[in-house]
Amino acid sequence: MAAELKTFKGGIHPPYNKELSSGKAIAEAPIPDELIIPLQQHIGAPCAPLVSPGDKVKVGQKIGEAEAFVSAPVHASVSGTVKSIEEVANFTGAMVKSVIITPDPQQEAFSGTPRDTENLSQEELRGIAREAGLVGMGGAAFPTHVKLTPPKEKPVDLVIINGCECEPFLTCDHRLMLERPEDLVKGLKLLMRAVGAEKGIIGVEANKMDAADALRSASASEPSVSVEILEVKYPEGAEKMLIFALTGRKVPPGKLPSEVGCLVQNVGTAIALHEAASTGKPLYERVVTVTGPGVKNPGNFLTRIGTPISTLIDAAGGFVGSPTKLIMGGPMTGWAQPDAGAAVVKGTSGVVVLTSDLVDLGEESECVRCSKCVDVCPMFLMPNFIVQATKRAQWDKAEMWGALDCFECGCCSFTCPAYIPHVDYVRKAKAEIAALKKK
C-alpha cells in the first residue's frame, strides 16, 4: 500500500485550474511606458526616498532606504528617469508614496559583481538579504533579514522551503522549481547557514511531481536537504500547517515558527537570496502568473517590480470577453481589483482573471448552523461564532473564539452554504480588538 501523504487536519479541495499555466515556461514581461514603485511593499516601516524628480536611475539602484529594522529597501527595476514621487493607490487600495519612473528606450542590463558564497558568515548573509530588499515573496512580504534573525534563545534547526503553491491557479513557484532547481537548492543552503540549521526540507504538493523530481536531482549530493511530498490541499503551504505536516511540531497560537525551531521561506525568496549573495542582484523583478479563463494566453512572466497589471494582461493576450473579477494574488487570499491599474510589488504572485461561471455570486444569508466552517478551519477556530460576535460588536467574544489566530485562509467562506464572508468579519473584529487594546 502506498504511504499516506503528509498533511494537516482541516482544509479544503477547491478546483485548482493550474493546468492553464503550469506548462508555460517563464517568459520576460515587456517593460511598460511607466513604472510605479511603492516605497512600502513589505510588512513594516515605509522607506525614505533616495531620489528626486528628474534623477537618472540605473537598474538595481537603491531608490528607497529602510530606516527601521522591520523594513526593506526598494530598488529601481529599470534604467530611466524619475518622473515624480507621489501618493498612488496600491493593490489594497491604500495610498502609498511611490517613485514613478519613465524607462529609457535602451535598457541597460543589471551588472553585478560575482562573489564566492561559500564562506559568507551569518552576519554577512543577513546584511545581503537586507541590502537586496528581500521579503517573503509568497504574499505576506515580511522582510527576510528579520526572519533570519531569530531570538537567541530559540535556535532554528530546520529550514523549510514552501514549494506547495496550494492556491488555485498560481504556478510561478512550480515553474521556478522546475526551471531553476539548482538555484533553489543553493538558496536553501544559504538560508540554512544564515540561521545555523542542520537540515533543509523542500515541501512540494503531489500535483508537482515533475518539480519534485527536478529538485531531488539538484539536491542529490546534499545529504542535509530532502524533498518531501505533501497532499494536494489548501492551505497546505500556510506556515503552521506546513510545519505540522512535515515535522509534527505545533506552533502555539500567537507564536512564530522559530518557537519550534523552524524557518519557512518561499521558493522565490530562496532563489532571490542566492542571486543577491552570488552577484549582488537586489529584488527588482519576480515571476508572476497571469491566468484564469478571462485571459487569452495564460502564462508565467518575469516581471519588473512596478509594472502595472494592464501590461501583464496585454502580455497574456488580453481579456477574453468581459471579465467578472480581477484578482491580484490567488483567488483564496488575493485582493480584488477595481481595474488593471495597480502595480506589481515584491509579494505579487499572480494576476487571476475570472469569468462569471467561476465566480459564485451568492447572496449572504443567515447561518444554518451546519458547522462546515468549523470542520475545515485548519486553526480549529469557530468561524461561525466569530461572525456572530462581530455582528453583535462583542469584541471580547470575537477574541475568545479566536479572531486573532485566524490567518484569513478563506476555507470557512469557501465551504459556507450561506455565502457568509467570514474573512471580512474577522478583519473587522481584528481591527476593533486592536483599537480596544490601544486604549
134 vs 409, which CB is nearer to ligand SF4? 409
235 vs 292, which CB is nearer to ligand SF4? 235
CA distances from 293 to 166, 169, 208, 232, 338 (A): 19, 10, 21, 22, 18
328 vs 409, which CB is nearer to ligand SF4? 409
Cell of 7: 498533511
User: What is the smallest separation between the CB atom of 379 and ligand SF4, expressed in angstroms?
Assistant: 4
35 vs 412, which CB is nearer to ligand SF4? 412
User: What is the smallest separation between the CB atom of 393 and ligand SF4, expressed in angstroms?
Assistant: 18
207 vs 384, which CB is nearer to ligand SF4? 384
User: What is the smallest separation between the CB atom of 11 and ligand SF4, expressed in angstroms?
Assistant: 9
295 vs 376, which CB is nearer to ligand SF4? 376
User: What is the smallest separation between the CB atom of 427 and ligand SF4, expressed in angstroms?
Assistant: 10
User: What is the smallest separation between the CB atom of 70 and ligand SF4, expressed in angstroms?
Assistant: 24
Instruction: Give the DSSP H/E element, type plus range, for residue 269.
Output: helix 267-279
User: What is the smallest separation between the CB atom of 333 and ligand SF4, expressed in angstroms?
Assistant: 9
H-assigned helices in 141-238: 144-147, 172-179, 181-195, 209-218
95 vs 368, which CB is nearer to ligand SF4? 368
Cell of 171: 504556478
Burial of residue 381 (CB within 10 Å: 0-12, 13-18, 19+) is buried
320 vs 404, which CB is nearer to ligand SF4? 404
SS3 74: strand
User: What is the smallest separation between the CB atom of 382 and ligand SF4, expressed in angstroms?
Assistant: 8
277 vs 403, which CB is nearer to ligand SF4? 403
State the number of CA atoms in the 13 A half-sphere of 363 facing the CB: 2
245 vs 420, which CB is nearer to ligand SF4? 420
Distance, CA of 128 to CA of 31 (rounded, Å): 27
User: What is the smallest separation between the CB atom of 365 and ligand SF4, expressed in angstroms?
Assistant: 8
CA Rg, the chain, in Å?
21
Helix crossing, 172-179 with 209-218: angle to 10°?
Answer: 40
User: What is the smallest separation between the CB atom of 196 and ligand SF4, expressed in angstroms?
Assistant: 31
188 vs 238, which CB is nearer to ligand SF4? 238
User: What is the smallest separation between the CB atom of 166 and ligand SF4, expressed in angstroms?
Assistant: 13
User: What is the smallest separation between the CB atom of 232 and ligand SF4, expressed in angstroms?
Assistant: 18
Return all residues near 328 (Cβ < 8 A) that are at least 6 apart. Answer: 91, 309, 334, 335, 337, 342, 348, 350, 351
Distance, CA of 160 to CA of 195 (rounded, Å): 12
Nearest to 346 by CA among 275, 299, 288: 288
Return all residues near 18 (Cβ < 8 A) that are at least 6 apart. Answer: 168, 169, 170, 171, 174, 207
Distance, CA of 74 to CA of 65 (rounded, Å): 7
Nearest to 58 by CA among 127, 106, 115: 106
Whether the ω angle into residue 308 lies within 30 degrees of 0, i.e. cis, is no
Amino acid type, 286: R
Cell of 216: 531531488
Query: Residue with C-alpha cell 521579503?
Result: 135
- The residues of the shown chain that bind ligand SF4, judged by CB under 6 A, are 367-373, 376-377, 379, 381, 383-384, 406-412, 415-418, 420, 422-423, 426
